[in-house]
Structure 1
Amino acid sequence: MATASAFRFAVNGYKGRMGQAVLRVLEDRKLPVASKFDKGELPNLVKADAVIDFSTPEASLALLEACANEGLSRPKPLVHVIGSTGFTDEQIARIPQFAERVVIIRSGNYSLGINLLAGLLKQVTARLEAEEWDVEITEGHHRRKVDAPSGTALLLGEAAAFGRGVRLNDVKVTARDGITGPRGVGDIGFSVVRAGGIVGEHSAIVASEDEIITLSHSARDRTLFARGAIQAALWGRTQKAGLYDMQDVLGF
C-alpha cells in the first residue's frame, strides 16, 4: 500500500474556487499533484492514483468512464472523489455501472460537521412521527452557485427521509409560490438563498405545534471541503472498487 506522500492526485476543475482550494491543501500537506485539468482539457490520469473532482455532472460522468478505462491496466483501481452537485436521477443511475472498476466516493458535502448533522437528523426523524413533526431544510450559498437546492441540502433531505423510511423524491417540496394550501403530511420542504459570497449555510428544522428543533451548520472557508475530499481519497486507497460516500469514510 502506498504511503500518503507517495499517493498521487489529479485535480479536475482546478480553475474553479473549489479546485483552487484543493490544490492549496495538497501543497500545504506536501501531497504530490500528478496532473490538473479543467473544462475543455483532456484528463491525464496516467500518473495519478486518485482524482478529486469538483466540476459538473456531465464532466464527472465522462471522467468516471476515463477512470474505469485507465484502471483496466492497473493492479489497483483509481479513486474518484466526486464533489460535483446537480445530478439528475438519470445521471445518478449511471454511476454504479463503473463501481466494479473504480473506487467511487460521491458526496453532496465533504464536511465532517455536515455529515455528523446528517447522522443526527436520521435519528431525530426516526423517532418523531411525521404526522406531528414537519421537516424543512434551508440553505444559502453564493450568487455564483448554479444548482438548487444544493447537494448538501439534498443530502440532509435524504437523511431525514431515511429516518422516516421513505424516498425523498416522494415527499420533496422544492418550491412554494402563491396559494399553495396547507403543507402535506410528511412533506420535506426546501428553501434556498443565493446572495453575495455565502460559502454554505444549512439548517434542518423539525417542528411540531409546540416545539422546534433546529440543527444547523455554517461553513466559513472552502478549505474544509477540500480537506474532507482529500481525506476521502486517502481512505479510498485501501478500499476495493465500489460506490461509497462520506458516511463510509467517517465510519458512520
Structure 2
Amino acid sequence: MIRIGVFGANGRMGQALLQATEKATQSQIAGAFVRPSSTFYQISVGPIIGSTACQLAFSDYQHAETDAIDVLIDFTLPQGMLTHLEFAVAHKLPMVIGTTGLSADEFAKLQQAAKTIPIVFSRNFSVGINLLLNLVQTAAKTLSDDIDIEVFEAHHRHKIDAPSGTALAIGEAIAKAKGWQHDEVARYDRHHDHEEKSQNEIGYSVLRAGDIVGEHTAYFASMGERLEITHKASSRMTFAQGAVRAAAWLKNQPAGLYDMQDVLGFK
C-alpha cells in the first residue's frame, strides 16, 4: 500500500487525483493539501470526492505528518510547485510532478532537486499519450523528408500555457527522431510569413474553448496522403490514474529525474 499526499487538492485536477488514489487498490490518501485560506481547509475530504471510507480533512502541508506519506503528487502552477518541491526535498519525499509551463530556470531547479529525491516529471500522465509519443517518432523516422509536420492541440478555456506541455512533448519527440534541435524548428506564429513553409519545421496551432479536457493531433502530410495520430481525453481521471500509477512505481526508486516513459517501461 502506497500512501499519497496531494497538493492543490481543492482544484479540479487535485480532486481527480484524490479520487484516483482512493479508488486504486494499492494506494490510500495520506494528505489532501490546500492553502489555509481555502474554503476547503479543515473540511472532510470524503464527501467532496464521493467517498465514505476517507476520514481525512483538507489540511496545510506544512503541518503534515511526513512519516505517514510515501509519495507526493503535484499538478499545481509553477510557483506553487517549486515551493512544494522545497518541502519534498527537505523531508526526502519522492514527488510526482505534472506541472506544465515551466521556464528553463524553473526546470533547472527541478533537475537539481532530483539529485536528492526521486521525481517523475511528465507533461502528460496518460498512458495513451505516452504511447502516441512512441508512434510519432516511428512516423517521423519512416516517412520521407518532404513531409509537412504540424501539431494541433485543444484545451479548456482556463488553461494558461500555450502550446500545451503535451503538444511540446510531441514536437520534441518528433524533432528527436528527425535529428533536429526542437527550438530551432518550432514555429508558433506565421502571421508575418510571406513565403512557403519549410519541411524542416514543426508548426503548432492551439484552441482554447469551453471545457475541452485535452486533444492532441500530430499531422504528417505529403502530396497525396496524410497521416494523423490523435489522442483525445474525455476525463481528467485518465491523467490522475496515470499519476497514481507513477507514484506507486516511484516509491522504491533511487534519486533521479524520471518520466512516464520510464514508468511504462518504454525506455
TM above 0.5, one fold?
Answer: yes
Query: Of residues 127, 135, 138 in structure 2, which corresponds to 1:123?
Result: 138
**CA–CA distance in structure 2, aligned partners of residues 211 and 241 of structure 1:** 46
Q: Deviation of residue 90 (structure 1)?
A: 2.1
**CA–CA distance in structure 1, aligned partners of residues 97 and 29 of structure 2:** 17
**CA–CA distance in structure 1, aligned partners of residues 263 and 194 of structure 2:** 41
Preserved CA contact (<8 Å) 1:172 1:189? yes
Q: Deviation of residue 24 (structure 1)?
A: 1.0
Question: How do 1:1-252 residues align onto structure 2 when only pairs under 5 Å count?
Answer: 5=1, 7-29=2-24, 31-39=27-35, 41-43=60-62, 44=64, 46=66, 47-71=68-92, 78-130=93-145, 132-252=146-266
Structure 2 residue matching 1:8: 3-state secondary structure? strand
**CA–CA distance in structure 2, aligned partners of residues 18 and 176 of structure 1:** 33
Root-mean-square deviation (CA, aligned residues, Å) is 1.6
Aligned length, in residue pairs: 240
Q: Deviation of residue 32 (structure 1)?
A: 2.2
**CA–CA distance in structure 2, aligned partners of residues 133 and 113 of structure 1:** 24
Q: Aligned partner of 2:122: which letter?
A: S
**CA–CA distance in structure 1, aligned partners of residues 105 and 144 of structure 2:** 32
Structure 2 residue matching 1:149: 3-state secondary structure? coil
Shift in CA distance, 27/126, structure 1 to aligned 2, threshold 3 Å:
same
Q: Aligned partner of 1:241: which letter?
A: A
Q: Deviations over 1:216-242 (max 9, x none)?
A: 011011111100000000001121110
Q: Deviation of residue 18 (structure 1)?
A: 0.7
Partner of 1:75: none
* Unaligned stretches of 5+ residues in structure 1: 72-77
Q: Aligned partner of 1:114: which letter?
A: I
Q: Deviation of residue 91 (structure 1)?
A: 1.5
Shift in CA distance, 162/216, structure 1 to aligned 2, threshold 3 Å:
same
Preserved CA contact (<8 Å) 2:75 2:99? yes
**CA–CA distance in structure 1, aligned partners of residues 156 and 72 of structure 2:** 25
Identical residues among aligned pairs (%): 43
**CA–CA distance in structure 2, aligned partners of residues 96 and 45 of structure 1:** 26
**CA–CA distance in structure 2, aligned partners of residues 198 and 8 of structure 1:** 31
Q: Deviations over 1:172-208 (max 9, x none)?
A: 1112325443223311111100111111111000111
Structure 1 residue matching 2:13: 3-state secondary structure? helix
